[in-house]
A and B are shown apart, each in its own frame.
Chain A
Amino acid sequence: MKSPSILIPRLDTSRKIIHIDMDAFYASVEQRDDPSLRGKPIAVGGGGLRGVVAAASYEARRYGVRSAMPSVTAQRLCPSLIFVRHRFDVYKEVSSQIREIFHEYTDLVEPLSLDEAYLDVTEPKLGPHSATLIAQAIRTKILERTQLTASAGISYCKFLAKVASDINKPDGMKVILPDEALAFLSALPIEKFHGIGKVTASKLQRMGIRTGEHLRELTEIQLVKRFGKAGRHYYRIVRGQDERPVNPNRIRKSIGAERTYSENLRELPIMKEKLAYLTEKVFDYMKKTQNFGRTVTIKMKTPEFQVFTRSRSFNSEVRQLGELRKVVFALLEENISEVGEVRLLGMSISNLEREQEGDGVGIQLLLEFPEEEE
């Protein structure tokens, strides 16, 4: 018997959190709208030789096709795979339909992407005070209004809700009650822990840690020594401790854009032209939202899928397009010789000023000097 000290004293299990995750979202929308695709292995995105799979239908997943996989690999795994162009406008529309459903039950909705969200239904606006029944009702309404299926996970914290939604996927749900949490986590394979990535999982496996039970044998100090700050997080989640609130106004940590190109880029002037375009898009967004950042990062992916990121931080926010472009170009010029050819380029801004804002924290205003012509 493990001692009961593995339980965190005063662990708050009073909240009711639902994690809703649409099943193979993009692919399902395509199959819904084109009956000829139903029951067939399809992949959204990346038509042709150069692309990447953005989403795969369950039929395709059976062959091992996964999202983010190069289309060429996917086609080899599944010769009958049908590639479909993405239609983001449609996905966005469906996404707002399902968000409307969430908001019928609670305003504590934290969208993670178009097809995924956390809901806090501790005090729901509608329906029974049972998270399980609410989750069921939401899934039914989603099916009625969009003809698409969703899976749900229900528990007292975000982490467990997220893990749970994966258990009976697709078109299923799973409840993890507070009493069941530790037993559930003990049996959970290490690679299923949301937040433990592939690299960390294989490191842990090499240490002989294959399940939550094994992970729980490590002390907090041991975990922090090996994995830094993330180690603390692991220590807590494996004990079912995750107090992160469902945050309806999640603050963006970064703003960025990236593109995979139909042909590898070899020449610096062309790369600069592509990056200038992305930089302008990102800058327009920052300007529109009045949210500028101090750290500029560029991302370069080689034809071999090796990813390089390089960044530079400043003492104050980059507020002018010309300055931003200069930094992006400098980062590219300084690092491209190491990278060589690229199939993807991206740039992003982080350390955003809006990130600093919180309750009672003010914003330092700036003297507004007249804009100079460049």
Chain B
Amino acid sequence: MKFSVSSNDLLKRLQVAGGAISSNPVLPILEDFLFRIENNQLSITATDLETSIITSIEVMADKDGMVAVPAKILLETLKALPQQPITFTVNDDNFGIEITSAYGKYKLAGENGEDFPNIPEADTVDTVTVPSRSLLQGINNTLFATSSDELRPAMTGVYFQVDFNKVILVATDAHKLVKYAFSDVVSEVSTTFIVPKKALNLLKGALPDGEEVTLSFNKANAFFSFANTSMVCRLIDARYPDYNAVIPVDNPNVLSVSRTDFQNSLKRIAIYANKTTNQVILSISDGSLTVSAQDLDFSNEATEQLTCTYDGDPMTIGFNARFLVEMLGILESDEVKIEMSSATRAGILLPTEETEGEEILMLVMPVMLSN
């Protein structure tokens, strides 16, 4: 088997797929890309058995066939080559691969493509179509809030709730929670599933702008297809916690403040906070928000005052500054609202103006003041 392809085009496709390859694969063949040629289409597959990416590119081939190619050495070769046509010649008996560039020849040992694990096929029964931009936005808004606590597997992924023409994404690590909903969706189903963090990180890197993404799923896997690429991931088999139960309903104290002023203030004050809790204290009364922090171990202390609109009883509440800064960075509106009830209940962070067709709500648990 022999085929020619542009080195740069191939590299781009390999970089998309390569994200699925584990740094510490359980089987040697999982260090490889599976190359499969059918009618001058080269499909490239990479997998860690949990998440797989299949992408394709047009090539000039003398016949159909397949081979497993060591990923690392191939990627390094292509990165080191200036853009040019290259030719792969595969020995169909021993799977030896020879790459020819304008400079010379490179030989590497491939493996039998038949040994490459099978990738689950998408069921086409239930599908959801979403614009890539909405999905990307959803991933960006939620991924940061997922947990890395392997004891609670459900929380290590993002919860997808598909409800006909609306998709709700939820992520939480029990300290903070994000719920993001978007409605430019075409679907005839109502279902829920949990997508692992790694898959969404890969998707984030692979999603093109301005394309439609078709999402389908069965009990075990989710399939995302767009343009010439598709991703399959094993779903997290766990029950997602009842997140609605933790969203407080009665929050009489409402603070409105400029998002960027608040975020910048927190970034400065956090420098002076205790490094394990990142605790900052918000003292809020009519028209004035005081942000302060101290680290008794080092005698560090800082205070700033911001103007705000406040409706409620004067209150003092502690938060992890890192969480607030991260969450404020996700929002886009000029002003944000924080709804609170007491210093030991979750605060709700909301944008003051919502973007059409989107809804976002974030929760953050306070740091309880010790004195």
User: Hey, which bits of chain A sit against chain B, CB under 8 A?
Assistant: 314-316, 318, 323, 327, 356-370, 372
Shortest B334–chain A CB gap in Å is 28
Sample of 18 more A-B contacts, CB < 8 Å, known A323-B151, A360-B296, A366-B174: A318-B151, A356-B276, A358-B370, A360-B370, A361-B277, A361-B279, A362-B274, A362-B277, A363-B277, A363-B370, A364-B365, A365-B365, A365-B367, A365-B368, A367-B363, A369-B246, A370-B242, A370-B245
Q: Is the CB of A369 within 8 A of B318?
A: no
From residue 217 to 269 of chain B, which have CB atoms closer than 8 A to chain A? 239, 241-243, 245-246
A357 partner residues in chain B, CB cutoff 8 A: 370
In order of increasing CB-CB distance, the 6 nearest A-B pairs are A369-B241, A362-B367, A365-B365, A367-B246, A360-B296, A362-B279
A361 partner residues in chain B, CB cutoff 8 A: 274, 276-277, 279, 296, 370
Pick the contact of B174 from A356, A359, A362, A367 — CB < 8 Å? A367
Pick the contact of B344 from A315, A365, A370 — CB < 8 Å? A365
6 CB-based A-B contacts, threshold 8 Å: A361-B279, A365-B367, A367-B177, A369-B243, A369-B245, A372-B239
Bound-state Cα–Cα, A359 to B318, Å: 15
A316 partner residues in chain B, CB cutoff 8 A: 147, 149, 151, 173-174
A315 partner residues in chain B, CB cutoff 8 A: 147-149
Q: Is the CB of A359 within 8 A of B370?
A: yes
**How many residues of B are counted as interface, with CB atoms below 8 angstroms from the partner's CB atoms?**
34
Interface residue? B294 (CB, 8 A): yes
Interface residue? B207 (CB, 8 A): no
Q: Is the CB of B175 within 8 A of A364?
A: yes
A314 partner residues in chain B, CB cutoff 8 A: 149-151
A367 partner residues in chain B, CB cutoff 8 A: 172, 174-175, 177, 246, 346, 363, 365
A359 partner residues in chain B, CB cutoff 8 A: 296, 370-371
B294 partner residues in chain A, CB cutoff 8 A: 360
Shortest B337–chain A CB gap in Å is 20
Shortest A117–chain B CB gap in Å is 27
B27 partner residues in chain A, CB cutoff 8 A: none
Bound-state Cα–Cα, A372 to B318, Å: 29
Bound-state Cα–Cα, A302 to B296, Å: 46
Interface residue? B19 (CB, 8 A): no
Bound-state Cα–Cα, A365 to B149, Å: 16
A364 partner residues in chain B, CB cutoff 8 A: 175, 277, 320, 365, 367-368
Task: Count chain B CB atoms within 10 A of each CB in A315, A360, A364 and give the residue with the most.
Answer: A364
Bound-state Cα–Cα, A370 to B240, Å: 11
Bound-state Cα–Cα, A356 to B365, Å: 18
A362 partner residues in chain B, CB cutoff 8 A: 274, 277, 279, 318, 367-370
Interface residue? B366 (CB, 8 A): yes
B175 partner residues in chain A, CB cutoff 8 A: 364, 366-367
Per-position binary interface string of chain B over residues 141-163, scored 1 when its CB falls under 8 Å from any chain A CB and 0 otherwise = 00000011111000000000000
Q: Whose C-beta in chain A lies nearest to the C-beta of B242?
A: A370
Bound-state Cα–Cα, A318 to B151, Å: 8
Q: Is the CB of A363 within 8 A of B368?
A: yes
Shortest B175–chain A CB gap in Å is 6
From residue 313 to 371 of chain B, which have CB atoms closer than 8 A to chain A? 318, 320, 344, 346, 363, 365-371
Q: Whose C-beta in chain B lies nearest to the C-beta of A357?
A: B370
Bound-state Cα–Cα, A323 to B294, Å: 36
B150 partner residues in chain A, CB cutoff 8 A: 314
Pick the contact of A360 from B174, B177, B242, B371 — CB < 8 Å? B371
Pick the contact of B246 from A327, A358, A368 — CB < 8 Å? A368
Pick the contact of A365 from B147, B177, B239, B366 — CB < 8 Å? B366
B296 partner residues in chain A, CB cutoff 8 A: 358-361
Q: Is the CB of A369 within 8 A of B174?
A: yes
A372 partner residues in chain B, CB cutoff 8 A: 239, 241
Q: Whose C-beta in chain A lies nearest to the C-beta of B176?
A: A367
B239 partner residues in chain A, CB cutoff 8 A: 372
Task: Count chain B CB atoms within 10 A of each CB in A360, A366, A370 and give the residue with the most.
Answer: A360
Bound-state Cα–Cα, A364 to B322, Å: 12
Q: Whose C-beta in chain A lies nearest to the C-beta of B345?
A: A365
